[in-house]
């Protein structure tokens, strides 16, 4: 149980385009979803937290107009990287949890490369 | 927020028990200890969590000291597939019933044949 699916697994696109990443909880209702970013040889950095039906809460230094998060249902959250540039190239990972006392479960990540 | 301290790396022989330590001396009474691991190029995998009692599941055991200032994750029979970065994280509160996991650098466990 507690499977989180993330799509796509990797994407390569040109600078200036927007990229959407989907995160789905397959067998539980995700009250809260989280988006992380991980650069090579570094740890995961939390970007934002989103509750279903509410606006996301962004961590300090994360541009909310650049990283658009939508959490419209209890099983789906999306992260859109708008006008992506090479410096946005990274490994993006989502996670989800159901009840507050339950652990977070993570997707397998999306490797984004901007040319 | 309670911080954790873990060794940068550890080695373990295949088939032997792997004991991964974690210090969290500033943990508060209602904070849980969580363990995750990340195999290269994958998302983190939940392993186990606990508050003050020792916990065991199909993956590992978690031993928490009585004063809760440290804990040990035990993989009873390590295999090559257990090679990963292991993160010990203390759960923090962030607004109401939400919480967020703050990842440190973790311990790179290398299981050798």
Mutate to test the interface with B, among A43, A55, A96 (most CBs of B within 10 A): A43
Q: In this complex, do B98 and A49 lie within 8 Å of one another by their Cβ atoms? A: yes
Q: Are B112 and B28 within 8 A, CB to CB?
A: no
Please say if the pLDDT value at position A98 is more than 90.
no
Both structure tokens of B109: 């466990």
Q: Name which of A91, A99, A85, A100 is nearest A21 in CA terms.
A: A91
Please say if the pLDDT value at position B94 is more than 80.
no
pLDDT value for A2: 80
Q: Mean pLDDT throughout B59-77?
A: 97
pLDDT value for B98: 54
Q: In this complex, do B45 and A2 lie within 8 Å of one another by their Cβ atoms? A: no
Both structure tokens of B85: 């970065």
Q: In this complex, do B46 and A105 lie within 8 Å of one another by their Cβ atoms? A: yes
Q: In this complex, do A46 and B102 lie within 8 Å of one another by their Cβ atoms? A: yes
Render pLDDT for B6-21 as a digit per residue (tens, 0 to 9). Answer: 999 999 999 999 999 9
pLDDT value for A52: 84
Q: In this complex, do B98 and A105 lie within 8 Å of one another by their Cβ atoms? A: no
Please say if the pLDDT value at position B59 is more than 60.
yes
What is the enclosing helix (H) or strand (E) of B109? strand B107-112
Closest residue on chain A to B39 (Cα)? A108
Please say if the pLDDT value at position B2 is more than 80.
no
Residues from chain B that touch A51, judged by Cβ atoms under 8 A, are: 98
Residues from chain A that touch B43, judged by Cβ atoms under 8 A, are: 4, 6, 93, 95, 106-109
Mutate to test the interface with B, among A52, A103, A113 (most CBs of B within 10 A): A103
Residues 6+ apart with CB under 8 A from A55: none
Render pLDDT for A49-94 as a digit per residue (tens, 0 to 9). Answer: 998 888 899 999 999 999 999 988 999 999 999 999 999 999 999 9
Q: Name which of B93, B57, B45 is nearest A101 in CA terms.
A: B93
Confidence of residue B96 (pLDDT cuts 50, 70, 90): low
Confidence of residue A31 (pLDDT cuts 50, 70, 90): confident
pLDDT value for A107: 96
A106 close contact with B: CB closer than 8 A: yes
Question: What whole-number distance in Å separates Cα of residue B49 and Cα of residue B66?
Answer: 16
pLDDT value for B41: 86
A104 close contact with B: CB closer than 8 A: yes
pLDDT value for B101: 86
Please say if the pLDDT value at position B95 is more than 90.
no
Closest residue on chain A to B90 (Cα)? A103
Q: CA of A11 to nearest chain B CA: how many angstroms apart?
A: 14
């Amino acid at each position: 149980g507690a499977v989180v699916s993330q799509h796509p697994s990797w994407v390569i696109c040109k600078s200036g385009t927007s990229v959407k990443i989907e995160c789905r909880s397959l067998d539980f209702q995700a009250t809260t979803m989280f988006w992380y970013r991980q650069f090579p040889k570094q740890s995961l950095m939390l970007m934002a937290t989103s509750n279903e039906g509410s606006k996301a809460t962004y961590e300090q230094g994360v541009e909310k107009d650049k990283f658009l998060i939508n959490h419209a249902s209890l099983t789906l959250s999306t992260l859109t990287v708008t006008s992506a540039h090479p410096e946005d190239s990274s490994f993006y990972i989502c996670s989800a949890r159901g009840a507050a006392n339950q652990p977070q479960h993570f997707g397998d990540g999306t490797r984004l490369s901007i040319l | 927020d309670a911080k954790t301290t873990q060794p940068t790396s550890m080695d373990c022989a295949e088939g032997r028990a792997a004991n991964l330590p974690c210090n969290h001396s500033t943990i508060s009474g209602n904070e849980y200890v969580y363990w995750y691991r990340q195999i290269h190029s994958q998302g983190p995998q939940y392993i186990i969590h606990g508050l003050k009692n020792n916990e065991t599941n199909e993956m590992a055991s978690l031993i928490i000291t009585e004063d809760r200032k440290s804990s040990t994750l035990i993989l009873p029979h390590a295999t090559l597939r257990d090679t990963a970065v292991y993160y010990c994280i203390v759960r923090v509160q962030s607004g109401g019933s939400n919480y967020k996991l703050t990842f440190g650098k973790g311990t790179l466990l290398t299981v050798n044949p």
